[in-house]
Amino acid sequence: MNAIDWLVLLGTILGIVAYGTWRTRHTDNLSTYLKGNSTTKWGTIGLSVMATQASTITYLSLPGVASENGIAFIQNYFGLPLALIVVCAVFLPIYRKLGVYTAYEYLGQRFDQKTRLLGAGLFVLQRGLQAGITIYAPAIILATVLGWRLDVTIVCTGLLAIIYTVTGGSAAVNLTQKWQMAVIFGGMVTAFVVLLTKLPADALHIAGAMGKLNAVDFTPDPKLRYTVWTGIVGGFFLSLSYFGTDQSQVQRYIGGARLREGRLGLMFNAVLKIPMQFFIVILGALLFVFYQLQPGTPVLFNQTVWQQQINGPQGATFRAIEEKHAALHADKETKIRAWVAAHESGDAPAEVAARAALTAAQKASLAVRNEARDTLQAADPAAKKTKDSDYVFISFILTQLPHGVIGLLLAVMFSSALSSKAGELNALGTTSTIDLWRHFRPLAAHDEVRNVRVAKWLTALWGFFAIGFALFVSSAENLIEALNIVASIFYPALLGVFVVAFFLKHVKGSAVFWAAIAAQIVVLAIFFFGKAYPAREIGYLWLNPIGCAACVLFSLGLQTVMPREVKPLSVSEP
């Protein structure tokens, strides 16, 4: 990085933060602070929804995942458009009609306070911990590659998000996310165009021949993680949980001038999400081709850590692996060019033979990469905290892009970290204020100024908690994986509660409360059974429909055996 890169990076990031803070500094109306300006249009809502969902991992790690495993991950998003249609048609009109600030407030009106607290509690538990991961995950990669201090990177990123989220609340988050998305789109398209200029004309065919372009897989095997079926069924329930019941998303679209604005904002995402993700995974597949044809491609992309070992006491072992990889890489490049020649000649038998030789060369090269990874992790256990694929795109950015564009791409990474983090903090502050603090201070609900002040304090507290947690995570290497699992297994029961709330009018609070707990136990049992017997483990996306269905069925069953409840207040129900 040179002075131009620093100028672009700091100018972009600080400029957007300062602009958002300044424009929303007088936000003292509770509705504006929690829901955003009542004049917000669908374009802003749509970008805000997109920015909250896509964290730095999307832009930093996904190209690397596609580079290593191909583009099948795109199927994960197949259920998303269908889920957004349901959210638009069912969830959003009800939230708007009741004028709620949070999704869990609706549960209180529809069922009872204990169900509301269950929903809000599950949300703050998951999101509070994940807010720390949102900072930590990109920080460890960027700090490693750029030689920055990890703790300083975490604290600076966290403080920037806290400043404008606390100052302007939802209004500031919406405003800044719009500009951050503009930076993200601009940076990613620029990187894509630069990459295209460095590739041969038949790059897509090479990627396909090397097994990186299998976008869809119709195999009906529940053990496979990414197929059309897991994507449509499991992805539908996962997206319905996330967009319909997770306050970090609900908060983005319940504001706005009219119901129409929220709906169009969600439809904007329904149409654009899969193409946008396709663009990112294709970028990754093309990065793979670029590095296949690039002399001197490193055996592992986390070169900072690798070079430390090269210069360490086990340097001879690491240099030997490097030399072996260099020879195999050169051989693979020759095989690629032979396959291209056979493909262009139209000689089918020659092409089949060339592809077989290429597959064998790729297998040999991959074996050395695995050996390098295992050797590195044995020598430096800290290397287990990240995957090597996380370093593929950032390596390309730092070594292949011109100065200025490097700064822009780093601004993309920090913009995405800030935008998703701000959305999370905003939702945590809101839920803590509306569903938890107000529950214990019911008389304070009428004091709007006090509510805004409490929301600001709680937002800041969650921000500092997230920073503290991110700093702690660095000493607990398996925590990230554990938390991701926890988040993915807690959504289904919560979605089940909302499905019962919307569609099964005769089911009351106690039945759904205990049904949710029972469904949660079922999901946990299936999950741990799969871990104990890996041969019988199912793809994790299937937990979503199973957990949701269990909650609905248990609710129906319990409602038939439980005594009828007398509702203390008459609330207009959808």
Residue 251's contacts (CB-CB under 8 Å, 6 or more residues apart) are 34, 35, 101, 102, 170, 423, 426, 427, 430
Q: Toward another protein, which CB reaches closer, 179 or 226?
A: 226
The 207-226 site mask, x for binding another protein (CB under 8 A), equals xx--x-xxxx----------
Q: According to CB under 8 A, which residues from 61 to 100 bind another protein?
A: 74, 78, 81-82, 84-85, 88-89, 93, 96-100
Enumerate residues 275-304 that contact another protein by CB under 8 A: 275, 278
| Selected binder of another protein within 36, 108, 187, 284 (CB under 8 A) | 108
Question: Which range, of 139-147, 255-263, 302-310, 415-423, touches another protein by CB under 8 A?
Answer: 255-263
Q: How far is the CB of 181 from another protein (least distance, A)?
A: 20
340-343 contacts: CB < 8 A, separation 24 or more? 340/200, 340/202, 340/205, 340/206, 343/202, 343/205, 343/209
- Nearer to another protein by Cβ, of 139 and 213: the residue is 213
SS3 47: helix
Task: List the one residue from 331, 439, 460, 468 that touches another protein (CB under 8 A).
Answer: 439
| Per-residue CA distances from 201 to 289, 347, 362, 397 (Å) | 11, 19, 21, 21
| Shorter beta-carbon distance to another protein: residue 57 or 87 | 87
Phi, psi of 111 (to 5 degrees): -110, -95
**Binds another protein (CB under 8 A): choice among 73, 101, 111, 179:** 101
Indicate which single residue of 25, 260, 505, 567 sits in contact with another protein (rule: CB under 8 A): 260
Residue 265 as a binder of another protein (CB under 8 A): the answer is: no
113 binding another protein? (CB under 8 A): yes
Separation CA 102–CA 431 (nearest Å): 6
Give the nearest distance from C-beta 38 to another protein in angstroms.
Answer: 8
C-alpha span between 89 and 91 (Å, rounded)? 7
Q: How near is the Cβ of 498 to another protein at its closest, in Å?
A: 18
Q: Under the criterion CB under 8 A, does residue 446 sit at the interface with another protein? A: yes
- Residue from 193, 271, 330, 525 touching another protein (CB under 8 A): that is 271
43 binds another protein (CB under 8 A): no
Residues 459, 429: Cα–Cα separation, whole Å: 4
* Contact status: 228 vs another protein (CB under 8 A): yes
Q: Rounded to 5, what percent of the chain is helix, strand, coil?
A: 80, 0, 20
Measure CA 421 to chain center: 11
The separation between the first and the last C-alpha atoms of the chain, rounded to the nearest angstrom, is: 56
**Minimum Å distance from CB 126 to another protein?**
22
Closest distance to another protein from the beta carbon of 504 (Å): 20
Question: Can you say how many angstroms the Cα of residue 89 is from the centroid of all Cα atoms in its chain?
Answer: 25
**Least Å distance between CB 218 and another protein?**
8
Tell me the site size for another protein, rule CB under 8 A.
47
Among 1, 4, 31, 465, binds another protein (CB under 8 A): 31
Please say whether the beta carbons of 365 and 346 come within 8 A: no
Q: Which residues contact 222 (CB under 8 A, 6 or more apart)?
A: 230, 538, 539, 542
Is 258 near another protein (CB under 8 A)?
yes
Nearest distance from C-beta of residue 255 to another protein, angstroms: 10
User: Other CB atoms closer than 10 Å to residue 482's CB: what's the count?
Assistant: 11
Q: Indicate the residue among 86 and 504 with the shorter CB distance to another protein.
A: 86
Any contact of residue 16 with another protein (CB under 8 A)? Answer: no
**Contacting residue, 17, 172, 181, 264, with another protein by CB under 8 A:** 264
Main-chain dihedrals φ then ψ at residue 572, nearest 5 degrees: -65, 120
Least separation in angstroms between CB 216 and another protein: 5
Asked whether 380 and 18 are in contact (CB, 8 A), the reply is no
Separation of alpha carbons 533 and 360, rounded Å: 32
Minimum Å gap between C-beta 436 and another protein is: 11
Separation between Cα atoms, residue 420 and residue 127, nearest integer Å? 11
CB atoms within 10 A of CB 461: 17
Q: What angle do CA 496, 502, 507 make, to 5 degrees?
A: 75
Q: Residue 375 Cβ, how far from another protein at the closest point, in Å?
A: 33
For residue 459, the one-letter residue type is: T
User: Is residue 196 at the binding interface for another protein, with CB under 8 A as the rule?
Assistant: no
Stretch that binds another protein, among 264-272, 340-348, 361-369, 549-557 (CB under 8 A): 264-272
The 8-class DSSP code of residue 402 comes to P
Q: Which residues here bind another protein, judged by CB under 8 A?
A: 30-31, 74, 78, 81-82, 84-85, 88-89, 93, 96-101, 105, 108, 113, 204-205, 207-208, 211, 213-216, 228, 258-260, 263-264, 267, 270-271, 274-275, 278, 434, 438-439, 442, 445-446
